[in-house]
Amino acid sequence: MGSSEPKSMGRREALIRGGAALGGLATLGVTARAEAAPAKLKWDHEADVVCIGSGAAACSAAVTAVSRGARVIVVEKLPLTGGTTSKSGGVAWIPNNVFLRQRGIQDEKADCLRYMARYSSPRDYVPDSPTLGLPPEDYRRLEAYYDNASPAVEHLEKVGAVRFQEFKLPNIDRIATDYADHLPENKVPRGRALESTGGLPLQGGRTLANGMIDWLRGKGAPVLVEHAVTRVIKDGDRVVGVEALHGDRTVRIRARRGVVFGTGGYAHGVDLIKRYQPGLYGSCATLGSTGDFIAIAEEAGARMGVLSNAFRTQVVLEEAIANRALAMCAFQIPGDSMVVVNRLGKRVVNEKLNYQDRTPSHFIWEAVGKEFPAYVQFMVFDERSMDAFGGAFPIPADRRNSRFVIQGAGFEELAEAIQTRLAKIAAHTGGVRLAPDFAATLRDTVGRFNGFARAGRDLDFDRGRTAYDVDWHEMSSPLRAGTAQPRNPMPNLTMHPIADTGPYYAVILGPGALDTCSGPMVNEHAQVLDARGKPIPGLYGAGNCISAPTRAAYFGAGATIGPALTFGYLAALHAVAGGGKA
């Protein structure tokens, strides 16, 4: 039952870099079937709990199960462990955490649940309802998150698998604010985000993932890499194991108490994207995020949640078209003398809004013209932002290394250059073109924005009004060493007048995602539910492979990893306690 290690660096590099490997990975699990267990089925490996994936969700489950005395096997389809967690900042959004309590801050359950319910389900939210207006099962999932998030990370720390500290924003050394700090329901807008210690700022994901994998290996838990799970095996209604492909060999792995899936979303599952997403050009998710669990769970009789949800971010469109597996996404839009406009030349959103809530502006429907005029957007900035904030993605540190930056001496020349680029990628955008009066409208847009910048108030989108806008702008837009530009002297730090004369620059932006957060429904124990809403014995899910208990809300930094750790923990507790015993 030892670990299966990668066979060659060439294959590892191909999987990581994408290319032809992506198409093959995207098909895994599409034709998966739940297989009934014959009376004398031969098992290649056996354990109490089998955890599929090796990121935050699966590893949290695996560590928790091992610490409770269970035998565990971790199964990962890629040659490298860590999943998308290893590419992340390693931040987890943990309400009522120990650091808040140590500072005497009470993150009251009723208040926090109102914040989560208001943000995740605004159409359902009723503050004086016993379930806050949410369906009871949705309320129980949010309640389970609040009740167990801090115990989960405290347990992981107690057994020595991870360590966390309060997340402070790099460059400004300030405790991170939530992404909706301004909502009246948010009574504790700072301090819920924790980061894994031992890594570089905003790069702690590998430390988090590797720490749990190393802990598991140290406890003798096998980690089987290059094992692509294609189906679950059932004995009657109960899931008792999985079947995986390892090279050309079929491997059967028995799970006496439960199988926990933590395999990520489908940000690189092109067929699923075409079927369910309004637009998703690229992602920072690992290439393993191809949505395998959707087909596997469907064949096992699972009930699907909303399949169109995603944790969204903008991407540099030309870069994503060249390779959808991205090293960096446009999480924060840097610069102060900068606007983002649609094909008409008009602003469409607060450019400093968090990525999850900013990206849906691409899907605003214009009923008369029967189009999405902001489906492709353009980040427009001047020489000040190029000089002052060079190196803050997507502004290049060296303007000579600006493959995706478009330049024009004036707005007319910039518009012509943008249209030339759009023509080259027309096959990927539905033939998006700039409006004939784009340059003139852009000039008017910039003039209006400049008035707001001088006055300190954005009357169109309230840019810079919230603590989030200001803090995360300062974090993501530090003045470049050696710049000739001064710190913004305007009354609103996020806005500076754009120069009256060029050169002007533009970057084409498109809709992307960290990953999707869609899949089968789970209950408050992380049990996967069947078509009638009843648990499928022995089958669990956590992380981005399930229909997110938080829906598509991004409460604050770490809003993916926090629920992943928590529901992985819950899955293991339930399985080890006998909830999925075979």
Tens-place pLDDT, residues 385-414 = 999 999 999 999 998 878 999 999 999 999
Distance CA 151, CA 159 (A): 12
Listed range (45-49, 168-172, 292-296, 414-418) with the worst mean pLDDT: 168-172
Can you tell me the distance from the alpha carbon of 142 to that of 151, in angstroms, rounded to the nearest whole number?
Answer: 15
Q: What is the rounded CA–CA span in Å between residue 505 and residue 418? A: 10
Task: Label the pairing between strands 249-261 and 45-52.
Answer: parallel
- Whether 262 and 61 have beta carbons less than 8 Å apart is answered as yes
Q: Quick one: what percent of the chain has pLDDT higher than 90?
A: 90
145-177 in b/e form (b: 16+ CB < 10 A) is: bbbbbbbbbebbeeeebbbbebbebbeeeebbb
Give the tens place of pLDDT for each residue, 524-548. Answer: 999 999 999 999 999 999 999 999 9
pLDDT for residue 7 is more than 50:
no
Q: Are 352 and 181 in contact (CB under 8 A)?
A: no
Binned at pLDDT 50, 70 and 90, residue 204 comes out as confident
- Say if residue 420's pLDDT is above 50: yes
Residue 26: is its pLDDT beyond 90?
no
pLDDT at 2: 41
pLDDT digits (tens, 9 = 90+) for 360-380: 999 999 999 999 999 999 999
pLDDT surpassing 60 at residue 25: no
DSSP run (H or E) holding 11: helix 9-17
Helical ranges in 456-560 per DSSP H: 467-476
Nearest Cα neighbor of 578 from 34, 55, 69 is 69
Q: Are 406 and 505 in contact (CB under 8 A)?
A: yes
Residue 296, CA distances (Å) to 183, 231, 247, 302 in order: 39, 5, 19, 9
Helices (H) and strands (E) in the chain, counts: 17, 19
Residue 108 CB partners (closer than 8 Å, separation 6+):
187
Give the pLDDT band of residue 294 (cuts 50, 70, 90): very high
| Residue 580 pLDDT | 52
The contacts of residue 275 (CB under 8 Å, 6+ apart) are 307
State the pLDDT at residue 23.
35
E runs forming strands in 394-531: 405-408, 504-516, 527-529
**DSSP track, 87-151:** GS--EEE-TT-HHHHHTT----HHHHHHHHHHHH-TTT--TTSTTTTS-HHHHHHHHHHHHHHHH
Q: Tell me: the pLDDT tens digits for 459-477? A: 999 999 999 999 999 999 9
Q: Residue 15: pLDDT band by 50, 70, 90 thresholds?
A: very low
Going along the chain from its start, the domains and CATH numbers come out as 9-15+29-87+205-311+517-579 (3.50.50.60), 91-196 (no CATH), 314-513 (3.90.700.10)
Mean residue pLDDT of the chain comes to 93
pLDDT at site 581:
55
pLDDT of 58 > 90? The answer is yes
Q: Above 70 in pLDDT, residue 201?
A: no
In 3-state terms, what secondary structure has residue 429?
helix
pTM of the model as a whole: 0.93
3-state SS assignment for residue 509 = strand
